[in-house]
Structure 1
Amino acid sequence: MNIFHADQPSHIEVYAIKNSDQIHDEMFRALFKTLSPDRQDYVSKLRRASDYQRSVLGDAMVHRILRDKLGLDPMHMEIIRNAYGKPFLKEHDNLHFNISHSGHWIVCAVSSTPVGIDVEKMEAIDMDIAKRYFHITEFNALLDCDPSVRLSRFFDLWTLKESYIKAVGKGLHLPLDSFALELQGSGWAPVLGEDGETYYFKQYAVEEGYKLSVCGISRHFPEDVQFVTAEEL
């Protein structure tokens, strides 16, 4: 992980960790102890083991990245949330991060400008979901797709749109049908946000059956995801 310098050109970094049966309970207990008291309390209340494990790995990964970027002791890092629930590092508003998890993947994006990330495990869905939540032009484009790629395109759109509303920082308070995404050449066209900023997109492959999308004000996306292990945290 590279050290973060505020005077460097804005760029984005993307990290991923895979939850696995190979990660022993002792490791989860050790990582749990590195969490803040508030997060320990939150994580302890999760009923499903998979939710507990993903939360512990996700928080530990964020702490490791922020520690390496800023050279700070974790005890001196305070993560707060805006009115819409987006996390920020207190007193370090020039370092942005976002996290997402689905299935056995936990992913994180970091940048000196706003950034959002979303990963989803693909599964069969009712296309009425697209009709209900997507912009009408996106829904019509889905209907025009070959049925063999329709599910894949749905999750393209879903993760891209989620990454955008997370980058903006409003979460689902910004309706998914309030903006439309469009394929442009080999990628997705940027979106002009309500704040006047232009947001760019990039997708990555982590595993067959998953979709991973990243959105940011910076157009300096990495070529690849940086994969980390529990032992590195």
Structure 2
Amino acid sequence: MEIFGVNIGSIKSEHSLSELIELISDEKRNKINFYRKKEDYLRSLTAELLIRVILVKKGLFQNKDIQFEFNNYGKPLLKNSSIEFNISHSGDWVVCAVSNCLVGIDIEEIRPYNVSTIKESLSASEFNTLIDLSENDRNTLFFNLWTLKESYIKAVGEGLSIPLKSISFEINENEIIFTNSHNNDIFNFKQYEIDDRYRLSVCNENALFPKEICIWSFHKLYQDSINLLK
């Protein structure tokens, strides 16, 4: 398993997005061109380039041969391959996990929220732990819990058909305890420090997590895309 992260805040004026978007499929290009906000455009383009560069670097595909499909819940899959991948983005970060078994990844920027609106997303034990904390600690814990839940849901690939209350987490200093009343699936979880303002969680069927995330600048992704995807 490998985890990659690209900070799109490092983009520079010499990086030609019009050149990059020609390196992806017509279908994805049309979808990305529909975005009105530059941030959404850039995050989506970066995500598409990142997984393509990873696959080409590994010698698994030529760019022209990479095809994606989706399961019934909209989870993206790599066509004609057993390789599993998952992508997430928030704010300045785009992250991608690649594995030989089911994998999910989620990153979220820590931000204020209304406690009453998130109660339905948490188990009773999670909510009770949360409300006893100070506001800053509460925000951090909530996004730790949220990214863990999202990473599991994305790994399983069943969307919000899985009730968020049916999966629960307890985070100790060196351990993440996962309680699953939805089914008997057993998954493993790890959280990574990527940025003080973000929470990042990864879910995998096996327990073989990398020690670190492979961080790329946007410039590196740009150069690799031009060199490898043309």
Does TM-score exceed 0.5, indicating one fold? yes
- Greater RCO, 1 or 2 (C-alpha within 8 Å, sep 6+): 2
Contact conserved, 2:168 with 2:180, CA < 8 A, in 1? no
Shift, 1:68, TM fit? 2.2
Which region of structure 1 is more displaced relative to structure 2, 186-195 or 96-105?
A: 186-195
Matched length? 221
Aligned match of 1:218: 206
Give the Cα separation in 2 of the matches to 1:165 and 1:191. 14
Corresponding position: 1:227 with 2:227: no
What pairs with 1:67-106 in structure 2 (closer than 5 Å)? 67-92=56-81, 94-106=82-94
**1:113-192 correspondence runs (5 A):** 113-184=101-172, 186-191=174-179
> What residue number does 2:16 align with?
27
C-alpha change, 1:148 and 1:195, in structure 2 (3 Å) is: closer
Gaps of 5+ in 2: 226-230
Instruction: State whether structure 2 residue 192 is matched by structure 1 residue 200.
Output: no
Q: Which has the higher helix share?
A: 2
The percent identity for this pair of structures is 34
Look up the equivalent residue of 1:53 and give its one-letter code: L
Aligned to 1:64: 53
Gaps of 5+ in 1: 1-11
8 Å contact kept, 1:119–1:210: yes
Q: Which residue of 1 aligns with 2:4?
A: 15
Match of 1:8 in 2: none
Contact 1:14–1:109, Cα closer than 8 Å, also in 2? yes
Specify the alignment match of 2:32 in structure 1: 43
Residue type of the partner of 1:108? Answer: C
Deviation at 1:192, TM superposition (A): 5.0
Contact 1:191 1:200 in 2 (8 A): no
Q: Cα offset for 1:103?
A: 0.3
CA deviation map 1:85-108 (0-9, x unaligned): 11111111x210000000010000
- Displacement of 1:72: 1.2
- Please report how far the alpha carbon of residue 71 of structure 1 lies from its aligned counterpart in structure 2 after TM superposition: 3.0
Q: Superposition RMSD on alpha carbons, in Å?
A: 1.8
Shift of 1:21: 5.3
